[in-house]
Amino acid sequence: MPKVDVAVRERFLLGECPNWDADNNRLLWADILGQKIHALSLADGARQSWSFDSEVGCFGLTDKGRWVVALKSDVILFDPETGVQQKIAAVDGDNQMTRTNDGKIGPDGAFWIGTMDQNVEKQPVAGLYRVAGDGAVEHKIGGVKISNGLAWSPDGRAMYHSDSRGPWVNRWQFNPQTGDVSNGTRFLDLDDTLGRPDGGATDIEGCYWSAGVSAGNLNRFAPDGALLMSIPLPVPSPTMPCFGGPDMKTIFLTSLTENYDASKLEAYPLAGMVLSLRVDVAGVPVHKFREA
């Protein structure tokens, strides 16, 4: 079983969306409710952070050195060197029940953004959207409570997408040239014990890694859906894995402390921190957003 280490010894309220920035040998991640994006340099441990005016649901890297960031509903291009923001789109902005959530850059070079119902009693009012470089927005999948778990197969021809309150993971046929999705089928039905599916990632063997947010596990599933490994973690609520490091064999894993009381924080001193673990298989690199 892989050894789990602490990569960032600081608690975050809702750590999410880790991104490996290979060009700068650093890990990036968001604190959604903290309204920040953070960075950790692997070379010297230096830290940086950037603040935004609303929740940071998700973000990704662009092909021009900027970041594409999904705020509560606005989608912006952000230059981390200058702080300059450029709005390019809005996602589900007229729906007061939702905010952006899990998202990732697809093999088509577009930003795929999920939304979630913000209310305690979740309703299937959220969905999945595709935002192209020119700002064009397409609604792709609806009827979900908390859109999550985006990842693509190594050849880019399958897309994984979950509903954390389904709780299930579906697999769709994906066209990496056009971004068309079709023929969605149920890949996994999950539960609280193994772990409701939060963020996901894939490795070069075509396996799907899922943060079991309700169970404190990181689960690896074969392409046929068989459970290959369930790694217990020192945090109750892991949120999203990403592969990084020079050989892409380090998994970085965010976690949360949202709604934790003092006794739970005391019982789990590493809750809300960013974890890391070395694995034997490399991850599939996440693509970059193609700016217009």
Q: Say if CB 98 and CB 118 are below 8 A apart.
A: yes
Beta bridge mates, 245: none
24 is in an annotated binding site: no
With H, G, I as helix, E, B as strand and everything else as coil, classify residue 91: coil
Q: What's the CA gap between 236 and 32, in Å, rounded?
A: 18
Say which DSSP state 185 is in: E
Q: Which of 31, 92, 163, 198 is catalytic?
A: 198
Q: What's the CA gap between 134 and 253, in Å, rounded?
A: 31
Q: Which helix (H) or strand (E) holds 266?
A: helix 262-267
Q: What's the CA gap between 193 and 8, in Å, rounded?
A: 27
Beta bridge mates, 276: 5, 252
Q: Tokens representing 141?
A: 């999948």
99 is in an annotated binding site: yes
Q: Is 198 a catalytic residue?
A: yes
16 is in an annotated binding site: yes
Tokens 């309700």: give the residue: 214
Neighbours of 267 (CB within 10 A): 11
Beta bridge mates, 130: 112, 138
Q: What's the CA gap between 73 and 83, in Å, rounded?
A: 19
Tokens 């981390």: give the residue: 80
Q: What's the CA gap between 13 and 236, in Å, rounded?
A: 13
Binding-site residue ranges for substrate: 99, 101
Q: Which residues are catalytic?
A: 198
Binding-site residue ranges for a divalent metal cation: 16, 148, 198
Binding-site residue ranges: 16, 99, 101, 148, 198
